[in-house]
Chains A and B, each alone.
Chain A
Amino acid sequence: MKVLVTVKRVIDYNVKVRVKSDNTDVDLKNVKMAVNPFCEIAVEQAVRLKEAGKATEVIVVSMGPQNAQEQLRTALAMGADRAILVQSDEVLESLTVAKVLAKIVEEEQPGLVIMGKQSIDTDNNQTGQMLAALTGMSQGTFISGLEISDTEAQVVREIDGGLQTLAVKLPAVLTVDLRLNEPRYASLPNIMKAKKKPLDTKSPADYGVEVKANTRLLKVEPPAERQAGIKVANVAELVEKLKNEAKVI
């Protein structure tokens, strides 16, 4: 069984993003970029499936600018076998990404597609579900546990009320939550080896997909700032303030 994994190039999660002064977007100039943390977990899971003899090949895909190659190389260094960069400098909305991925699924016929549940930049949480819809595949979202048999995957999902276990038919699209695994660090020899692994560069047009805007971004603003509060000296003062000033207890 082939496993297809997606990785998105996003701002490093430690960086606090700033909004541009003209309110057109956030400022990503000279900002450290990285693999979306959820996608790292997806890659790790795919590599573990290969190590366990359940997957035959791990193919990693990213859509974005040319330097998204860096993130693909990271995934290759973690153990993916080959990479596809669908290069585009346009704004890629989730539906467009899902349409391209659907074509790649058609070509590669993976038994499993593993994706992040959300990207930490746009926080959309939707691309995996869209791909599942377009391909008619089953979906297991927000998973923190996975077991694979010949015909189905048992997934543990993190839901509002607790945990839910579903059996989803293969082929399936899975989106991963943070607690599924702890991704490995790529070793130096593996980083060197990754440089020689195959990386194909394609365009959305190669897949017959038109990059379409479903939305228009009108404005990006910083959130309302909270007024800095005060430090209280002790518990007694805290209780007094909560009772008499804030009036919340």
Chain B
Amino acid sequence: MAILLIAEHDNTALKSATLSTVTAATQIGGDVDLLIVGSGCTAVADSAAKVAGIRKVLVADNAAYDHEIAENVADLIKGLASDYSHILSPATTNGKNFMPRVAALLDVGQISEIMSVESADTFKRPIYAGNAIATVQSLDSVKVITVRATSFDPAATEGGSASIETLSQVSDTGLSRLVSEELAQSDRPELTTAKVIVAGGRGMGDKAHFEMLDTLADKLGAAVGATRAAVDAGFVPNDYQIGQTGKVVAPELYIGVGLSGAIQHLAGMKDSKVIVAINKDEDAPIFQVADYGLVADLFEAVPELEKAL
């Protein structure tokens, strides 16, 4: 049994979601090979080779894989698949984009966003926005799986000594090309790995008032997140969204401000260790999951909290 794991990286380093996926792979068992695919991504290989638990690092560095264009990446992975019993990737927007394409090319299903490994073919995954947990067994010869990173601890970044192999084959379907990318620039921690998150909802009122949370977050060394309502209203960009259709987070401390706690939002944050809610409506559903609830007007409570820290 051998596992091919597709790395999430930014051309300089592995993303933490990859390390969590390595842990999932180790729990499945067998040799784990890590594929780094992209354009200008060779630099990632050296640090990847040191990750504990990796047998071999495969590098596919070519312009055709720039921004991990799904059609080309899926074609490449299909070509490698015959050596493996499992193909894994973190359930990032990259993984969610190319992995189902890989599965269909191999004529197998995909098990999406697993949160635990029960055995080499059986996994738990959330359904209905996390309101039910399904245990599913794969009946396919090759198991194509995406992994929910917050459900697995990251593997150690030191201690491994994998070999590095450069792949020469190039898959270029010519079906899609990148036009542009608008990436958020921030000095704050990334939402999906932050230890502390301050999240705001529609109750923040407008874009200018939402910025109150930035100051609070900076005091706590926190990332800033939001509900869909806050994103739709234009307070913050889409990459802030936490929930069923946004990011899944599990920080040590989550502070939700002026948000009601809709099931679709809870789906993305209810595995946080400690949940704090600040809302002026004492019946807001967020209080049902909050460890500490403060019924207050946020425009008074947030500045006060910031001062008290």
In the complex, which residues of chain B have a beta carbon less than 8 angstroms from the beta carbon of A11? 128
Among B138, B231, B292, the residue within 8 A (CB) of A241 is: B292
- Closest Cβ–Cβ distance, residue A10 to chain B (whole Å): 9
Asked if residues B100 and A125 are in contact (CB atoms below 8 Å), the reply is: yes
Chain B 76-111 interface mask (CB, 8 Å, partner A; 1/0): 000000000000000011101111111111011111
Is the Cβ of B176 less than 8 Å from the Cβ of A168?
yes
Interface residues of B in 236-267 (CB under 8 A from A): 237-239, 244-245, 247, 252-253, 263-264
Are A121 and B127 touching (Cβ within 8 A)?
yes
Given A16-B263, A123-B127, A238-B276, the answer on whether A159 and B184 have CB atoms closer than 8 Å is no
B71 at the interface (CB under 8 A from A): yes
> Contacting A238 at CB < 8 Å: which of B126, B192, B228, B305?
B305
How far is B98's CA from A154's CA once the two chains are assembled, in angstroms? 19
Number of interface residues of B (CB under 8 A): 90
Q: Given A129-B104, A138-B175, A215 and B139 touching (CB < 8 A)?
A: yes
User: Which residue of chain B lies nearest to A157 when distances are taken between CB atoms in the complex?
Assistant: B93
CB of B218 closer than 8 Å to a CB of A: no
* A231 & B295 in contact (Cβ 8 Å cutoff): yes
Query: For residue B128, which residues in chain A have a CB less than 8 angstroms away from its CB?
Result: 11, 17, 26, 120-121, 123
Kindly provide the distance from the CB of B8 to the nearest chain A CB, expressed in whole angstroms: 9
- Shortest Cβ distance from residue B144 to the other chain A in the assembled complex, whole angstroms: 9
B contacts with A: majority SS: mixed
Q: Write out the residue numbers on chain A whose beta carbons fall within 8 Å of the beta carbon of B247.
A: 160
Scoring A residues 1 to 38 as 1 if CB is less than 8 Å from chain B, else 0, what string do you get?
Answer: 00000000001010011010000001000000000000
Contacts of A188 in B (CB 8 A): none
The residue that B181 contacts in the complex, of A154, A165, A213, with Cβ under 8 A, is: A165
Asked if B232 lies at the interface with its beta carbon under 8 angstroms from chain A, I say yes
Taking chain A's interface residues, is the majority helix, strand, or loop, or is none over half, making it mixed? mixed
A142 to chain B, nearest CB (A): 6
A226 and B270 alpha carbons, distance in the complex (Å): 8
Measured between beta carbons, the chain A residues less than 8 angstroms from B209 are none
Within B51-84, which residues are at the interface with A (CB < 8 Å)? 67, 69-71, 74
Q: Is B208 an interface residue (CB 8 A)?
A: no
Contact among A158, A164, A239 with B178 in the assembled complex (CB-CB below 8 Å): A164
Confirm or deny: B180 has a beta carbon within 8 angstroms of a beta carbon on chain A.
Answer: yes
Chain A to chain B contacts (Cβ below 8 Å), 18 pairs: A123-B244, A125-B96, A132-B101, A140-B176, A154-B179, A158-B238, A162-B238, A164-B178, A164-B182, A168-B175, A215-B138, A216-B136, A217-B134, A221-B132, A242-B253, A248-B252, A248-B253, A248-B273
Which residues of A approach B to under 8 Å, CB–CB?
A: 11, 13, 16-17, 19, 26, 93-95, 98, 117-118, 120-134, 137-142, 144, 154, 157-169, 177-179, 213-223, 226-232, 234-236, 238-239, 241-242, 246, 248-249
Q: A121-B128, A164-B180, A178-B232 are in contact. List 18 more A-B contacts (CB 8 A).
A: A16-B263, A26-B127, A120-B128, A123-B127, A130-B110, A138-B71, A138-B176, A141-B97, A158-B238, A163-B181, A165-B178, A178-B228, A215-B109, A215-B139, A217-B136, A223-B133, A229-B293, A235-B304
Among all A-B residue pairs, the 10 with the closest Cβ atoms: A214-B109, A126-B100, A129-B100, A133-B104, A229-B291, A138-B175, A130-B104, A219-B135, A165-B179, A248-B253
